[in-house]
Amino acid sequence: MILDCITISNIVLAGERADALDAQRFYIGGEWVESCGEGRVTVLCPADLTPIGQAAMGTIEDADRAVRAASAAFDVWQSSNVADRLELIRRMRAAFAKAAPGIADHLVREIGLTPMVAQGQTAMCLSHFDSIIDLLPGYRFSEALGDRIELVREPVGVVAAITSWNAPVSQMLCKAVPAIAAGCTVVVKPSEHAPLCGLLLAEAMAEADIPAGVFNLINGRGVDCGRRLAEHPDVAMISMTGSVAGGGAMAAAAAAGIKRIHQELGGKSPNVILPDADFAESITKGVHICMMNAGQTCAAPTRLIVPADRFDEAAAIAVAAAQKLVVGPPDQPGVTYGPLANKAQFERVNATIERAIAEGQPLLTGGPGRPSHVDNGYFVRPTIFGPVAPDARIAQEEIFGPVLCILCYSDIDDAIRIANSTDFGLSAYVETPDPVLARRVAGAIRAGWVNINYPPWTGAAPFGGYRRSGNGRQYGVWGFEEFLETKAIVH
């Protein structure tokens, strides 16, 4: 996939490969600037492990100067009117729409997404713009409560957006767009495992004539650059998508500043197949959704919960569905999913599968190691275990790979108990043609986002989790209001 479909002025083509990227600069205060440090990472294509570029890793000094730029811009941008903000969001959308095909192509190479998933993620990005464009004109930033109280909603301040590598551009925009529309200024730090796509996004945003300092982007590691953003006294809010461990570290770093923390973290989503569901259809779809993007989806239905007396039937359907999946280079026709995104995740997923086997969990299909037809790249076979006890480690811990556990329930109440038996609560799935039963079970599951019979994705619904899956919500008015403070003026 060649990136010459994008005009890349600050991500310089370098090296022997014509499509290798040399991303040595950051976008701060409306300008492209050199990193203060000399740290660099070589980015590998996860499908064949060939270098596709280099990226500078920012320092504490880089974080400080990005915050300074955002803080200076906030003094002006917080007072901007709705019409100006709306016009800016429209310009940002137009710039992104122009760059989206090239960014989607790049996601195939840097993250290992199939073209279908990459294009789906850029479509999600456009929906983040569209929801704010629809919301902003009618939003009431001030309203009267009775005769003596005026309720005012004001921007929280400088926002540090720390994002994940599995859906990197979508996660950057679902934070930056509502924050800027709310009157905040933003410093975005992508994952160090996906540094190039962040610079491509910044290239697009630079074309939107954003006021200097309103949108800033730096690359860097979480342990230094990310931590500095979290603890910086001039950062008012941290909005993070990532692992539970990473979220805990960022929250600890931010704690002394008593600042707002918004986190979308891990999941171990249950998929409850009720007795009256169409097993062939429901289980097959569940396997496909679980394995999509090589299982690297926080909302993936990784725990298939089925009636105990129909385990054999359910397992046979699940195994047949998994064995029909095609694993290979993501840009090849007919491939269901490509590689895991990076070496660390590849090693972690394989170690988890090996440990589960050593602990005696029944392996139904798949297992550790690459599929037999590939000898390179971070590919993992679709793997299913079952029956698995609800308290087994593999049923409790997020794996973030193409691994499914089948668990068994005795009755509806037992299914609900099992669904709620982890520390996570990001998403859940319920399959039944009975709307009353579906609503009963959905209402009893402790999760922030519950899907009944696999509805299409919508950015109009708030997304976020209970318990260790995080706090706060993204998308729509709920995601927009995360970036606002509420002031009461009483007279």
φ/ψ of 93, rounded to 5, equals: -65, -45
96 token code pair: 């992104």
Cα–Cα distance for residue pair 188/139, rounded to 1 Å: 25
DSSP 234-278: T--EEEEES-HHHHHHHHHHHHTTT-EEEEE-----EEEE-TTS-
8-state DSSP, 294: G
Helix (H/G/I), strand (E/B), else coil: 400 = coil
8-state DSSP, 136: G
Residue 32 contacts residue 10 (beta carbons within 8 Å): yes
Long-range CB pairs of 433-440 (<8 Å, 24+ gap) are 433/276, 433/277, 433/278, 434/274, 434/276, 437/274, 437/276, 437/412, 438/274, 440/412
SS3 content of the chain, % helix, strand, coil (to 5): 40, 20, 40
CA distances from 302 to 63, 113, 242, 247, 297 (A): 36, 19, 18, 21, 10
Residue 430, H or E segment: strand 427-431
Beta strands at 185-189 and 363-365: parallel, antiparallel or unpaired:
unpaired
142 token code pair: 């001030």
Q: Which of 231, 264, 431, 481 is catalytic?
A: 264
Residue 314 contacts residue 287 (beta carbons within 8 Å): no
Can you give the length of the chain in residues?
A: 491
Cα–Cα distance for residue pair 487/343, rounded to 1 Å: 47
Cα–Cα distance for residue pair 424/467, rounded to 1 Å: 6
Is 435 buried (19+), middle (13-18) or exposed (0-12) by CB count in 10 A? exposed
8-state DSSP, 438: H
Residue in this structure with the two tokens 């005696």, named with its chain if needed: 360
Could you confirm whether 264 is annotated as catalytic? yes
Q: Which of 125, 184, 197, 298 is catalytic?
A: 298
Cα–Cα distance for residue pair 183/78, rounded to 1 Å: 5
φ/ψ of 263, rounded to 5, equals: -130, 130
Rg of the chain in Å (alpha carbons) = 23
Number of CB atoms found within 10 A of residue 49's CB: 12
Could you confirm whether 61 is annotated as catalytic? no
Active site residues: 264, 298
